[in-house]
Amino acid sequence: MEIFRLLKASEFYNISSKNLTELLNKKLIPHVKKLSSANRSSYYIPDLFVEYAKEVFNVENLEEIDGELADFKNKVRTKIITFSNLKGGVGKTSVASNFAYALALLNKRVLLVDMDSQANSSRYLANQYFTGNSVKNIFDALMRKEKIDNEFVRSYIKKIEFENASLDLLPSELALGRVVEFSRAVFTIPHKKLNDILKTVKNDYDFIVIDTPPSTGLSLHMAIYASDLMSIVTDAEDFSVNGLKELSSEIEEIEEETDRSITVDSIFINKVRNSKIHEVYIEAIAKLAIEQQIENVFTIADSTRIKEAQNLHIPMLEYKSELDKGLVMSSSIIEYAIEKALEG
């Protein structure tokens, strides 16, 4: 997939700017808008969505008029992003896996690291169990004081190929949590150990995405220590707002323990339904995000399509039977991916 940088999106779509603004504002076409000069905006729209707009909105004469491809070449270094929440079942795995895939679609080299011993993202994307063949084995080796190098770590990484893009997975297994907690007794500074592992393969990737368990513990602390950014996934239910406050104090503790400052740059409010009560919770979460200077607040609708795609072990964007729905469902995830990809 390529991303078109459009200086004048209405020309590109060959529709009136009023209609286009409506589509964009309704978030029906995933895009990232950046103010480029005084009163001009640039729209970054992946070509996949251009096809989508053509089909769904009957937009004719959709041609690339600008042709200027976004310049992703000024990449400075690998970015590591952890998805977390202490609350279970909110969609951490769904968002992390689909975000990793969205980056892969944008031609990024992506490694998804499963740090949850439930191994849900491993099973979602790879559709197999990794007992005796996972990140847990790398921790075992570290505890035996064995040398960890790129070749060794790569031997546990699995390439997952989908129809439109591929990404790498460092899978998990049930015993991971126990081994990670046991490592407290072995290492003086245990929370650095995932970072040590990822350092060996970091240069092979543009992005490393980490999925974490729904609990506070060493796995989460290790992930956060290794990360540049953290993204919170939540639902819009009773206790979610309090849960986020608890997570913030947990983050402060982790910052003290690991002597590292953590930037939370996004919140995904997942499983949102059209209801008054959800509106209230979304508003409360958005307020909290402002207080905590979290830049991006995204919502994802509640939809069985997400479960259906997971049952088929494919990313939402490859869920072809309802292409339009798949795109709309993951539009905020792809928007975040575009934003990160453009930041380099």
Q: Which residues bind Mg ion (CB under 5 A)?
A: 92-93, 120
Is residue 310 a contact point for ligand ATP (CB under 6 A)? yes
Q: Output 11 or 302, the one with its CB closest to ligand ATP.
A: 302
Contact window for ligand ATP (CB under 6 A) among 131-139, 166-174, 276-284, 295-303: 295-303
The phi and psi torsions of 135 (rounded to 5 degrees) equal: -60, -25
Contact window for ligand ATP (CB under 6 A) among 15-23, 46-54, 112-120, 159-167: 112-120
Is residue 91 a contact point for ligand ATP (CB under 6 A)? yes
Applying CB under 6 A, the site for ligand ATP has a residue count of: 19
**Residues 180/218, Cβ–Cβ less than 8 Å:** yes
Q: Which amino acid is at 322?
A: E
Return the sign of the alpha-carbon dihedral for residues 250, 252, 257, 260.
Answer: positive
The candidate with the shortest Cα–Cα distance to 208, out of 170, 258, 159, is 170
Look-up of token digits 């459009």: 6
Q: What does 215-235 look like in DSSP terms, one character per residue? A: S-SHHHHHHHHH-SEEEEEEE
Q: Which amino acid is at 136?
A: K
CA 14 to CA 310: how far, in whole Å? 36
Determine whether 321 is exposed, middle or buried from the number of CB atoms within 10 Å of its CB (0-12, 13-18, 19+). exposed
The phi and psi torsions of 229 (rounded to 5 degrees) equal: -140, 155
Is residue 270 a contact point for ligand ATP (CB under 6 A)? yes
Q: Which of residues 202-261 bind ligand ATP (CB under 6 A)?
A: 214
Bridge pairing between strands 79-84 and 40-46: unpaired
Least separation in angstroms between residue 152's CB and ligand ATP is: 28
Token reading at 14: 């060959």
Helix (H) or strand (E) run with residue 263 in it: strand 263-272
Residue from 89, 127, 178, 189 that binds ligand ATP (CB under 6 A)? Answer: 89
Helix (H) or strand (E) run with residue 269 in it: strand 263-272
Look-up of token digits 């869920």: 319
Q: Output 93 or 299, the one with its CB closest to Mg ion.
A: 93
Q: Output 117 or 183, the one with its CB closest to ligand ATP.
A: 117
Is residue 273 a contact point for ligand ATP (CB under 6 A)? no
Q: Which of residues 114-173 bind ligand ATP (CB under 6 A)?
A: 116, 118, 120
Least separation in angstroms between residue 116's CB and ligand ATP is: 5
Q: Output 310 or 332, the one with its CB closest to Mg ion.
A: 310
**Residues 162/318, Cβ–Cβ less than 8 Å:** yes
Is residue 98 a contact point for ligand ATP (CB under 6 A)? no
Least separation in angstroms between residue 271's CB and ligand ATP is: 5
Least separation in angstroms between residue 27's CB and ligand ATP is: 15
Residue from 140, 302, 322, 339 that binds ligand ATP (CB under 6 A)? Answer: 302
Using DSSP's 3-state secondary structure scheme, residue 310 falls into: helix
Length of the chain: 344
Least separation in angstroms between residue 329's CB and ligand ATP is: 7
Q: Output 22 or 238, the one with its CB closest to ligand ATP.
A: 238
Q: Output 214 or 217, the one with its CB closest to ligand ATP.
A: 214
Is residue 300 a contact point for ligand ATP (CB under 6 A)? yes
Residues that bind ligand ATP (CB under 6 A): 88-94, 116, 118, 120, 214, 270-271, 300, 302-303, 306-307, 310
